[in-house]
Amino acid sequence: MSATSDASRRAGDLLTDLHLWDTVLEQLREEGFSQAQSIKATVERLGVPLADAKQIVHLSAAWADRRSSNDEFHRSLDDAASSSG
């Protein structure tokens, strides 16, 4: 069984109310699941498109400490793509 499936299953166990999703994300992170696994679990458990799941996880309190570095990473990708084209 993959770690991503484990994250999704664990998220389902934790989810009792959609308003508590941020709490679920915090618990997943505390248990060692990655941001990518949290995004996949968000897609699978909330039934939202990938882009929405990325935004939900990105803006969550659980991953707030990574927001700035993630934004910088995406800016550098955009810059590289625009300079190579």
Quick one: average pLDDT of 35-64? 94
Q: For the chain, give the percent of residues with pLDDT over 90.
A: 53
Q: With cut-offs at 50, 70 and 90, classify the pLDDT of residue 50.
A: very high
* Domain count within the chain: 1
| Residue-number span of the structural domain to which 35 is assigned | 3-84
Q: How far is CA 49 from the centre of its chain?
A: 12
Question: 18-33, pLDDT tens digit by residue?
Answer: 568 999 999 999 999 9
Distance (Å, whole) CA 46 – CA 26: 16
